[in-house]
Amino acid sequence: MSLHTLTIAELSRKLRAREVSSVELTRACLKRIEEHNKPLNAFLTVTAESALAEAGSADRQLAAGGAGPLTGIPIAHKDIFCTDGVRTSCGSRMLDNFVAPYDATVVARLKAAGTVMLGKLNMDEFAMGSSNETSYYGPVANPWDRSRVPGGSSGGSAAAVSARLIPAATGTDTGGSIRQPAALTGLTGFKPTYGRVSRYGMIAFASSLDQAGVLTRSVEDAAILLEAFAGFDPADSTSVNEPVPPYTTLLEQPLKGVKIGLLKEFFDKGLEEATGSCVRAALEVCRKLGAELKEVSLPNLPLSVPTYYVVAPAECSSNLSRFDGVRFGHRCQDPKDLMDLYKRSRGEGFGAEVKRRIMTGTYVLSAGYYDAYYLKAQKVRALINEDFRRAFREVDVLMGPTAPTPAFAIGAKVDDPITMYLNDIYTIGANLAGLPAMSVPCGLVGGLPVGLQIIGPHFAEAKILNVGHRYQRETDWHRRIPRGYE
């Protein structure tokens, strides 16, 4: 079996058995990147030299003993995470020249756990997009069909892991940016509870919704990574000071008696039929494993998309004000005065989707509109939160589709932002309520992957991982490899 098809868990065993060295593994990944990245456009930066150095030191640690489950494992980061001394572009011309002077907490913790960073991954500009088409560096192709999108905004992460260039990648999820690309590329994508993982060093899009997570080839790998970087960080006031459970040891619990809620609102007319069938089949697998299925209704959930498209742009309009051409990032040529500096630096630095959201956000926060939009959206958000709370009094986890359709064609929706926004209709609710959620592959439609979404109560990461892992033990959708990448 080739190294590139193995999961982190499998590679970790081989590394510790000294069947393969981290340097060999890293070289194998770098070779895969060299062979396959160009048409995919997943990697924006490849840090081969430092990766080999890190792999070398991982090998010394492996030889000396005391290596952890991630020692010597190659990964790559979405280009939204600041990486000390490495360009961190956020998929934007604005930060094309920005070399971060520090490591994000997620990056630092994974480094401390012994991972080897191979580079930085393409993404929608400032994580604003559902198809990876808003990137300044061009769209990312879906390895399952390169004429199609990989989803977004963590599209580079999804393509790189799906094409077996690397075993896993970090991502961020503000409205579905980990789960939707995972679904569209046949991966496991995990977004933890808001506050479970530090946001420090993650370039902010919408601060109250952003959360870091992972795209992997198995639930077990997601558990291994999450264990390494979850947990309180004094540098992020919104991170929660709760102990991190040993997720990997809680994966095997039987599903007997677990109550699974079927989200009624997720199986509505917007869901493509074949996709719905795959999800229903997955639910049937869980039922056979002893879980109890029950339909639940979250009446306010259909309001998620409009609510999200008030809250997220409002926060982004403020978060992106720091990109003003004064201290870092893009600065226009020969500004004639301060206003010219602002207008041209920002006008040239930001792409159309980012500008659209900054303008929307500025509008909804303006005097006279604040109550009608921002305040009302916050109230609806509270109602959605309450819907979830009520549902979790009856069930342990909720299930439904991750995205309404499999991957769509590159260019198909770029001119229609509303249709594009509706692609996140099933994922946004978990962000608004701050809930942990995961997408796991549950079928193929026309040769394209479909995702099953599992949502849990706050801090129920272990339960979601447990349910997902038991499902993956019964199925092999997560082991399917896109043609040409075997």
Partner 1 sequence: MKEGHKDWELVIGLEIHAQLATRSKIFSGSPTAFGAAPNTQANLVDLGYPGVLPVFNREAAHMAVKFGLAVGAQVGRRSIFARKNYFYPDLPKGYQISQYEKPIVAQGALDIELEDGSRKRIRITRAHLEEDAGKSLHEGLPGVSGIDLNRAGTPLLEIVSEPDMRSAKEAVAYLKKVHTLVRYLEICDGNMQEGSFRCDANVSVRKVGAEKFGTRAELKNLNSFRFIEKAINHEAARQIDILESGGSIKQETRLYDADRNETRSLRSKEEANDYRYFPDPDLLPVVLDEAFIETARKSLPELPDEKAARFTREHGLSEYDAAVLTASRELAAYYEAVVTAFGGEPKLAANWVMGELSGALNRDGLEIGAGKVDVARLTGLLRRIVDNTISGKIAKEVFEAMWNEGKDADTVIAEKGLKQITDTGAIEKAIDEVMAANPGQLADYRSGKDKLFGFFVGQAMKATQGKANPAQLNALLRKKLK
The answer to whether residue 177 is catalytic is yes
**Residue 350 Cβ vs partner 1, minimum distance, rounded to whole Å:** 13
Identify which of residues 64 and 367 has a Cβ nearer to partner 1 in the complex.
367
Unique residue bearing structure tokens 């060999």: 24
The answer to whether residue 277 is catalytic is no
CB 77 within 8 A of CB 171: no
Q: For the chain, state the CA radius of gyration.
A: 21
**Residue 114 Cβ vs partner 1, minimum distance, rounded to whole Å:** 23
**Residue 316 Cβ vs partner 1, minimum distance, rounded to whole Å:** 11
Unique residue bearing structure tokens 């070398």: 56
Number of alpha carbons in the 13 Å side-chain half-sphere of residue 464: 28
Catalytic residue among 131, 162, 177, 239: 177
| CA atoms of 365 and 378, how far apart (whole Å) | 12
**Residue 1 Cβ vs partner 1, minimum distance, rounded to whole Å:** 38
Identify which of residues 151 and 201 has a Cβ nearer to partner 1 in the complex.
201
**Under the rule (CB under 8 A), what is the footprint of partner 1?**
81-82, 88, 90, 95, 98, 100-102, 104, 199-204, 206-208, 234-238, 314-315, 317-318, 320-324, 326-329, 338, 342, 362, 365-367, 370, 374
Identify which of residues 218 and 239 has a Cβ nearer to partner 1 in the complex.
239
Task: Write the DSSP symbol of residue 373.
Answer: I
Complete DSSP assignment for 139-195: PPPBTTBTTB---SSSHHHHHHHHTTSSS-EEEE-SSSTTHHHHHHHT-EEEEPPTT
Of the chain, the end-to-end C-alpha distance in Å amounts to: 10
Tokens at 396, concatenated: 């342990």
| CA atoms of 110 and 218, how far apart (whole Å) | 18
Task: Classify burial at 430, counting beta carbons within 10 Å of its beta carbon; exposed 0-12, middle 13-18, buried 19 or more.
Answer: buried
Identify which of residues 343 and 356 has a Cβ nearer to partner 1 in the complex.
343
**Residue 118 Cβ vs partner 1, minimum distance, rounded to whole Å:** 21
From the list 15, 14, 6, 49, the residue with the least C-alpha distance to 167 is 6
Identify which of residues 151 and 213 has a Cβ nearer to partner 1 in the complex.
213
The answer to whether residue 259 is catalytic is no
Identify which of residues 153 and 453 has a Cβ nearer to partner 1 in the complex.
153
**Residue 412 Cβ vs partner 1, minimum distance, rounded to whole Å:** 31
**Residue 328 Cβ vs partner 1, minimum distance, rounded to whole Å:** 7
Catalytic residue among 12, 21, 22, 78: 78
Identify which of residues 94 and 467 has a Cβ nearer to partner 1 in the complex.
94
Task: Classify burial at 153, counting beta carbons within 10 Å of its beta carbon; exposed 0-12, middle 13-18, buried 19 or more.
Answer: buried
From the list 158, 433, 399, the residue with the least C-alpha distance to 280 is 399
Catalytic residue among 153, 154, 162, 239: 153
- Residues catalogued as catalytic: 78, 153, 177
